[in-house]
Structure 1
């Protein structure tokens, strides 16, 4: 069984398997060459469709993933600009938005977003094979000729989630007629670098000489990542930074025999990027406003030498824009700075030595500059050195696969799932199991699985002791504490490439050996196994109702159910899986006391690695009393209560007459972004930190319930839900 398959099971938890799409973008002579992609797309390729730009998305993670094209336009002498284009959209939703860099009264840079918000312009538009014409005026409140003053304006257009988008007859118009797109664009040199260099199929570096030490590569990797997010020339898209590493490597590997030679090579490389303006020293931070400072500890004069040290300090103080070619905000989330234009090179299943260095350098650059919980990582730089050695020593695809998994596991977050979307997911067994009191126990069974029963204790799989199978995942799964490790490792046991699986089990005290050929390949069936209760509503007694938020699909269903539960004295709300209902809908019916829910941190876009506390997240506003549930509530939690579900738990804990019952939550919260590894791997890490209003930690620890509940094996076999029973007991107590 390939270990990468187990991570795809998490897609069942967070919305089901997505079917991959191929991605192509036509680059024709009559279209601007500065179209660039975002959403972890692969490089543009010629398509056979004439005069049409084609974008098909790979829905790697969830329906909120954005895929699109970005075009920069210069509007300094374009009066009353207007965009016109024709589009064919085969997707659930699409978007079109404009952002421009302007100056506020204080002279600070801000971003102005104009036009329709994400999802409105193309919302639920499925044109099939038909094109529809769109015309879009830029914000009339701004005189672009005066306000922008020659700076670029960025147009972003694309889709959310799986689907296809095709664009033709794109034009920028003004009162004087059509403005030729080619004449009004600023070319990102990095966008076309893959066409001009031989590096897309190989770095040209197949081995790393022993004379180059791990410490030399560590300093190279730190410098490469620092320049990627700090140097103005690289942030502006003047360089394809992947390929610049490959250009630099041969000379570095050949000449780097001493520390002084290494530093001289790096100094020459940095200076070759050109000069830049420096900015004034930032204002002193407000007391308590900064959670985490950038990590400049590796930039030491005694290690790098005076000249390289001084030059890197100048780069640190360089004048930068808030959004760069390799990082910036998405149109629907201004809180997280995410990587842009990162290629996954899926055709390189076993990358050469240069690409393997790129893999570990890229991952650690994101970790150093964009990861909200960097401070939780023990011995981070030592682990970077270890990963360099692991990636350097890889001799085949399996070695590389394990090196990637070890690097991802280091973050110890339930969000850091590893995906390989270019390998089909394995079959899943027709049941789910959990670690209960030190035994691997079947907790839920698909209706088509007739061999395995709920409450069965699994002792062997295909003759191998179950805990031997589990222990093989140690060090390869991101797990901050034992409960999360067993959650992930037991999931791994549910996938197989076998046509038949044999189990040694104990049922009602009797040992049995059974075989099954029943497997699941449907994402919805698999996700049902992760939900303890299938129904969305139950009457538990005449005073108490049950509402299962994770299985309620939409607002219409919720509003219908709310009419049923609002008159009950007590309500049990199940959050033991991932809900899809929006915060706006939930707060409307359960909260009426103004309050903040949590504190958040996000990266300073001008100083990567610096994380500040932002405005409190998910504000609760006063709602009409007629819409509010006024009874007592018990919220059910366990180790599968993660991310948005944990945020909802934090919100409910602010509500009067509310208790939490069950087990500690996962401890993985905060908005995430994707990181691509060469070879077609993707993972995620948090770009937004989430804390209690007192700024206390929740990451890795989870939220501890007010009252604990844990099932015994006998409870599972009898079909009892002790979480619900405990909640009913507490709610109905005098």
Structure 2
């Protein structure tokens, strides 16, 4: 079986065959970062077959050189499932000689559509890999039995795979109404019709079949007739001949369509068919499943149409319809969006139709994603149009919003006389002739985050401090004076942004402060270190867990028991349903069993960097009575994520399960509960004081009450 290598990177990396440095044979493959602060470089293979077997293993040898600001490893992914591993937790870094590594993943031959594997380098340095083997159930995959795949009717329907045939749509009020109702009915059919559930209908293709007639419909009666004929193509709907839909049935349908069907001018026969479909109880669905033991939605069989540089008007509408209905039926946080989701669909239809190029389409998709107010939801992965829009140059200093002002807080690179032109605590009021307050208003609609604090967290490096012009002009306030200054920007690939995630490069993730307080930085914590941490922290008065980061490993059932006393639960979940799309059920509470080894106080520091797993871990800490949480609003995005792919190859995610405290309080958008509110101040930045950290020390040493 041939292995066809492909390259992928979002930084500046080179890929070579190396005949001098090798583990065996003639060559090894190397990935080299051309600068010290690159993003990542990856090389891999795709095997588009299904095999009989239960476990896939990627095994091979790796050698590294000078990897100090990232990690190296193999990666393995089973498409069609959630199975993925990139060895990040093994933290292979520095300079290492040849060593064999292995990744094993469970293999579901019914759902796995493609095996993707390879090696990657994150950050600077160099990696070599050699003698790579892909095994299934311990045997070389080239000897495995290929499973015969019987294509579903949906997969056989390929008429519209290259184009929808719809390049231009002129909107008037009736057409906007037609397209709004079509989007809702299309999604309703997709997640309710038994024939769709079986995989007998390609819903993308069916949209393009009915779309021309819907566009031409001149009134509600014509629209109703078109939709009824279209639905009839999918197969007979089981109805009760002796039953008539009652008001409750109509109310349930109206809830999913966003309005009473009569108000749309739909015919009675069409309404009856939709009500009958709403009673369908499909135990499975071709287009959606739920993750085993977790419950977040898995959106199956969605094509990304990555080859489309600029999707046509039909595919742009498909993008909107697909995303809107995924949120409508499977987002556990739809009720927290902050606006009526039914109004979002007609508001975005003109934007998607009128997007004149791929940049406009990308920004419209980003605005749609941003509208659900979920920090997990963004455009993820490298997207050239978006990066070109944001700009490739940036100044070499850090700036964050402190006290709602954009403040210089540090330096990424000590170059370009940056420290002579900018000082800590400088307040930036204008960038390239535009006030910061105006820039905030401009970029808020395309800054995807759960709350305002997190939007301000992401805005400087995504938009404010970026430009395609290398020259930056600033107006700053310093010590009561207004100053004008300028600086030449660096190409972003040369800016050391890793300092945002590892501000104390070269230090350990755990140590003792003043022989009295244990300090833990979860971004550098590994469960294998726990025995050493217990010895080091033995006898201390308290522990500070600095959760202003993303944990490297899952801590709730390893580290948390060490500090916990009592059996109080810490979380419960809400899960969606394939059988009843749009409905959610609440699970029983979950607890962490304590070992009660550590008796001292535990202070957890949080802020807008505390996101997802960090928020979940904080909730686990809070189930112990000796824990106090201090800081400021967290990112408000918790729960296992569900990936989504949209036409043009746009990748995004949503929070797929609801996360609740035992008392029912939600963390989405709000963040975790905080006992003591404290945020950095401009005065503290100028003095070089980490005020939340100092407060944590006081709470431990001075017995300050909450």
Q: Does 1:409 align with 2:381?
A: no
Q: Does 1:494 align with 2:465?
A: yes
Structure 2: any 5+ residue segments left out of the alignment? Answer: 1-9, 11-36, 54-72, 82-99, 118-127, 241-253
Q: Does 1:250 align with 2:260?
A: no
Conservation of the 8 A alpha-carbon contact between 1:533 and 1:548: no
Three-state SS of the structure 1 residue aligned to 2:183 is helix
TM-aligned CA deviation for residue 69 of structure 1: 5.5
Q: Distance in 1 between matches of 2:489 and 2:129?
A: 42
TM-aligned CA deviation for residue 658 of structure 1: 1.4
Three-state SS of the structure 2 residue aligned to 1:201 is coil
Cα distance 1:342–1:559, how it changes in 2: closer, same or farther (>3 A)? farther
Q: Distance in 2 between matches of 1:351 and 1:632?
A: 56
Cα distance 1:443–1:606, how it changes in 2: closer, same or farther (>3 A)? same
Conservation of the 8 A alpha-carbon contact between 1:431 and 1:529: no
Q: Distance in 2 between matches of 1:167 and 1:230?
A: 39
User: What whole-Å deviation, never above 9, does each CA across 1:96-148 have from its counterpart, x for those lacking one?
Assistant: 334889xxxxxxxxxxx9xxxxx9xxxxxx995554554489xxxxxxxxxxx
Q: Distance in 2 between matches of 1:253 and 1:494?
A: 43
TM-aligned CA deviation for residue 456 of structure 1: 2.9
Three-state SS of the structure 1 residue aligned to 2:625 is coil
Q: Does 1:400 align with 2:361?
A: yes
Q: Does 1:730 align with 2:699?
A: yes
Cα distance 1:359–1:560, how it changes in 2: closer, same or farther (>3 A)? same
- Counterpart position of 1:443: 409
- Counterpart position of 1:695: 664
Q: 1:599 aligns with which of 569, 572, 586?
A: 572
Q: Does 1:68 align with 2:79?
A: yes
Give the 5 Å matches for 1:618-657.
619-623=591-595, 625=596, 628-657=597-626
Conservation of the 8 A alpha-carbon contact between 2:622 and 2:629: yes
Count of equivalent residues? 587
Cα distance 1:391–1:508, how it changes in 2: closer, same or farther (>3 A)? same
Cα distance 1:302–1:514, how it changes in 2: closer, same or farther (>3 A)? closer
Q: Does 1:615 align with 2:581?
A: no
Q: Does 1:682 align with 2:651?
A: yes
Q: Distance in 1 between matches of 2:477 and 2:102?
A: 47
Q: Distance in 1 between matches of 2:562 and 2:107?
A: 32
Q: 2:435 aligns with which of 455, 462, 465?
A: 465
Three-state SS of the structure 2 residue aligned to 1:434 is strand
Cα distance 1:520–1:537, how it changes in 2: closer, same or farther (>3 A)? farther
TM-aligned CA deviation for residue 261 of structure 1: 1.3
Q: Does 1:556 align with 2:528?
A: yes
- Counterpart position of 1:384: 345
- Counterpart position of 1:171: 145
Q: Does 1:568 align with 2:540?
A: yes
- Counterpart position of 2:155: 191
TM-score, with structure 1 as normaliser: 0.72
- Counterpart position of 2:637: 668
- Counterpart position of 2:87: none
Q: Distance in 2 between matches of 1:302 and 1:471?
A: 36
Q: 1:544 aligns with which of 517, 536, 545?
A: 517
Cα distance 1:404–1:593, how it changes in 2: closer, same or farther (>3 A)? same
Cα distance 1:687–1:95, how it changes in 2: closer, same or farther (>3 A)? same
Cα distance 1:612–1:392, how it changes in 2: closer, same or farther (>3 A)? same
Q: Distance in 2 between matches of 1:413 and 1:631?
A: 36
Conservation of the 8 A alpha-carbon contact between 2:400 and 2:406: yes
User: What whole-Å deviation, never above 9, does each CA across 1:589-617 have from its counterpart, x for those lacking one?
Assistant: 22253332112101122111111102324
Three-state SS of the structure 2 residue aligned to 1:359 is helix
Conservation of the 8 A alpha-carbon contact between 1:663 and 1:704: no
Q: Distance in 1 between matches of 2:270 and 2:627?
A: 58
Q: Does 1:307 align with 2:269?
A: yes
Q: Distance in 2 between matches of 1:383 and 1:512?
A: 42
- Counterpart position of 2:256: 295
Conservation of the 8 A alpha-carbon contact between 2:564 and 2:624: yes
Three-state SS of the structure 2 residue aligned to 1:634 is strand
Cα distance 1:233–1:527, how it changes in 2: closer, same or farther (>3 A)? farther
TM-score, with structure 2 as normaliser: 0.75
- Counterpart position of 1:218: 180
Three-state SS of the structure 2 residue aligned to 1:261 is helix
Conservation of the 8 A alpha-carbon contact between 2:399 and 2:410: yes
Cα distance 1:19–1:131, how it changes in 2: closer, same or farther (>3 A)? closer
Q: Distance in 2 between matches of 1:539 and 1:257?
A: 74
Structure 1: any 5+ residue segments left out of the alignment? Answer: 6-14, 36-61, 71-89, 102-112, 114-118, 120-125, 138-165, 173-180, 280-292
